[in-house]
């Protein structure tokens, strides 16, 4: 069981590094794309295009910073919640499942930010709200999943 958990965590760790690198790459490309867009707006005299490019530039920096600083903090908080004491015959399985769920929630949050930054780098609309909503979904779903085990155990009278 422990070996399987280590294997899964190693896999998730590698995926985390890939996603962080993708967020970094798409963030930088997006910043350059926004500068290009603002240069084009300056040439064509489009004030709206200039404003959109500037706001997208600032938003992209926010997205990358949130992905690098906010998501690990949220994931660590979820990890702490997942490490709550369990009981009963399936306690170790529950703990392992909670760790795996926490890792998947962290990856899902990071994927949302990677998708947003990739969209911005490709010239798409600025949709940070979708990424933040997905973060909230991941955290709430994770907390519900962690709480389900102990609640069921208490309900069944196991502990």
- Least separation, in Å, of the C-beta of 65 and another protein? 7
- Least separation, in Å, of the C-beta of 156 and another protein? 29
Query: Nearer Cβ to another protein, position 24 or 127?
Result: 24
Contact between 151 and another protein by CB under 8 A: the answer reads no
Q: Which of 54, 107, 99 is nearest to 81 (CA)?
A: 99
CB neighbours (10 Å) of residue 65?
11
**Which of 4, 6, 14, 151 forms a contact with another protein (CB under 8 A)?**
14
- Its sign, for the CA torsion 3, 9, 11, 13, is negative
For residue 39, CA distances in Å to 27, 35, 52, 95 come to 18, 6, 12, 53
- Least separation, in Å, of the C-beta of 58 and another protein? 12
Contact between 75 and another protein by CB under 8 A: the answer reads yes
Contact between 7 and another protein by CB under 8 A: the answer reads no
Helices (H), strands (E): how many in the chain? 5, 0
Contact between 128 and another protein by CB under 8 A: the answer reads no
For residue 86, CA distances in Å to 90, 106, 138, 150 come to 9, 22, 22, 7
Residue 76 token pair = 């660590």
Residue 52 token pair = 């959109």
- Least separation, in Å, of the C-beta of 33 and another protein? 6
- Least separation, in Å, of the C-beta of 29 and another protein? 6
Count residues near another protein (CB under 8 A): 43
Question: Which residues are at the interface with another protein (CB under 8 A)?
Answer: 9, 11-18, 20-22, 24-29, 31-33, 35-36, 38-40, 42-43, 61, 64-65, 68-69, 71-73, 75-76, 79, 99, 102-103, 106
């Amino acid at each position: 069981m422990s070996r399987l958990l280590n294997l899964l965590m190693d896999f998730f760790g590698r995926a985390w590094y890939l996603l962080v690198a993708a967020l970094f790459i798409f963030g930088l490309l997006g910043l350059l794309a926004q500068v290009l867009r603002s240069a084009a707006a300056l040439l064509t005299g489009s004030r709206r295009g200039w404003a959109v490019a500037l706001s997208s530039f600032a938003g992209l920096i926010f997205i990358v910073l949130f992905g690098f600083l906010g998501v690990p903090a949220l994931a660590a908080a979820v990890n702490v919640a997942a490490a709550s004491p369990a009981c009963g015959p399936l306690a170790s399985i529950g703990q392992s499942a909670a760790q795996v769920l926490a890792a998947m929630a962290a990856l899902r949050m990071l994927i949302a930010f990677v998708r947003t930054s990739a969209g911005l780098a490709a010239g798409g609309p600025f949709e940070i709200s979708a990424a933040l909503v997905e973060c909230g979904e991941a955290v709430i779903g994770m907390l519900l999943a962690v709480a389900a085990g102990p609640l069921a155990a208490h309900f069944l009278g196991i502990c």
